[in-house]
Amino acid sequence: MRVTFTVNGRRETADDVWEGESLLYVLRERVGLPGSKNACEQGECGSCTVHLDGTPVCACLVAAGQAEGREVRTVEGLADGDRLDPVQEAFVECGAVQCGFCTPGLVVQAHDLIERVAQPSDAEIREALAGNLCRCTGYEKILDAVRLAAARKAAAS
């Protein structure tokens, strides 16, 4: 089947999509956006987190056909040209990236948190990131990065 949807502001059409295929597969293999990572394929790890109509979801659990006519924003759509999104910048500065596999999902999820909650508490950060697994960092530097991004956002507004 054919699926047409908007990705990072651009209209995309994917053809010959299998009806049981996930949005994640369409993004990675058909639209050429490999930023969202494919790991657990069961909503456990958060590596494929994208915005669907503004709401963070696991792209592996969205059927491709369910994206028809909708708006998707992936990690590739966060930066403004060469200028990184403040969450991405904070991840770099805080050393929150090691192997990098979980990073795209964490960045998208953290981005959503600080959009919704101006100054998140540690409990709120942990709750928001509970569905994103990282096997390298031990999470401390990720928490540092989210705190930094939130503080900068609060200071700027």
Residue numbers at the binding site for another protein (CB under 8 A): 1, 18-20, 22, 41-44, 46, 49, 55-58, 60-63, 65-66, 68, 109, 127-128, 130-132
- Residue closer to another protein, measured from CB, 34 or 43: 43
82 bridge partner residues: none
DSSP string for residues in 27-50: IIIIS--TTS--S-SSSSS-TTEE
CA atoms within 13 A on the CB side of 8: 16
- Residue closer to another protein, measured from CB, 13 or 92: 13
Amino acid found at 102: C
CA distance 148 to 87: 8
Tell the smallest beta-carbon distance from residue 42 to another protein (Å): 4
Tell the smallest beta-carbon distance from residue 122 to another protein (Å): 14
What is residue 106's DSSP assignment? H
User: Torsions phi, psi of 10, nearest 5?
Assistant: -110, 135
- Residue closer to another protein, measured from CB, 19 or 82: 19
- Residue closer to another protein, measured from CB, 52 or 149: 52
